[in-house]
Amino acid sequence: MGGLVPFTATDYPGKLAAVVFCQGCPWRCPYCHNPHLLPPRGENEASWWEIAGFLERRKGLLDAVVFSGGEPTLHPGLPDVVRDTKALGFAVGLHTAGIYPAKFERLLPWLDWVGFDVKGPFEAYEAVTRVSGSGARALASLRLLLASGTAHEVRTTVHPALLSETNLLKLAHRLARMGVRHYALQAFRAQGCADPALARAEAGFWPSPALLQTIGRLFDTFVVREA
């Protein structure tokens, strides 16, 4: 495991949670703000047994545990860890980009909530992830999530060099047609960004109020998270 946030009120809607960060991710999104979690091994790893001991001591004080990353579904042991967490009495959330649809499908019955990262139009994913075929994988995973009925939030990070207002609106319409009901936009943060040009580009950019209002009407809940 790549690290632990022992307490958060923002990473699982309506619940007090701990966040367990999983090491490793095969995609190389240039705006990633956790670049230390991208390699398969990290400098400050903790064993699951250490984290499980912490969670045992927090029973009754925390409501949920969120597995984040990196990409948590990269790890073959994640289903066992999730089952252990539920056995302790916690709700389980997952932050994922849907990189591994088959693994995600097997995990879904054990999840109480999913924060699903959509990078942009699925046909243009490679511009963000730097990995061929990534859009098809993300789309397949999102369809699995929506078919499962699991509580969710879909979120998109906004940067003008990677996602224009026109494409953002098209993406929002597509997500709404697919059945997404809870959507969030997140402002790009330069922290951790490996691309200096991207970090400098239009730091104050944010979609227009008119566009945000239009997108908001497409979903049951719509959240904007500015830097």
Q: What DSSP assignment string belongs to 161-200?
A: TT--HHHHHHHHHHHHHHT--EEEEEE---TT-S-HHHHH
pTM of the prediction? 0.91
Tokens of 30: 């240039």
Task: Report which of 166, 185, 183 is spatially closest to residue 218, judged by C-alpha positions.
Answer: 183
Task: Report which of 108, 105, 90, 89 is spatially closest to residue 20, judged by C-alpha positions.
Answer: 90
Half-sphere exposure in the Cβ direction for 81 (13 Å, CA):
24
pLDDT band at 201 (very low <50, low <70, confident <90, very high): low
- CB neighbourhood size of 1 (10 A): 21
The answer to whether the beta carbons of residues 123 and 84 sit under 8 Å apart is: no
**Does pLDDT of 52 surpass 80?**
yes
Mean predicted confidence (pLDDT) in 9-28: 92
**Does pLDDT of 9 surpass 80?**
yes
**Does pLDDT of 188 surpass 80?**
no
Which residues on adjacent β-strands are paired with residue 115?
Answer: 95, 153
**Does pLDDT of 174 surpass 70?**
yes
User: How far is residue 68's CA from residue 97's CA, in Å, rounded to a whole number?
Assistant: 10
Which residues on adjacent β-strands are paired with residue 68?
Answer: 21
User: How far is residue 53's CA from residue 156's CA, in Å, rounded to a whole number?
Assistant: 34
pLDDT of residue 64: 97
**Is residue 154 classed exposed, middle or buried when 0-12, 13-18 and 19+ CB atoms within 10 A define those classes?**
buried
pLDDT digits (tens, 9 = 90+) for 86-129: 999 999 999 999 999 999 999 999 999 999 999 999 999 998 99
Q: Per mean pLDDT, which of 14-23, 140-149, 203-212 is the most reliable?
A: 140-149
User: How far is residue 199's CA from residue 203's CA, in Å, rounded to a whole number?
Assistant: 7
With a pLDDT cut of 90, the percent of the chain lying above it is 66
pLDDT digits (tens, 9 = 90+) for 134-154: 999 999 999 999 999 999 999
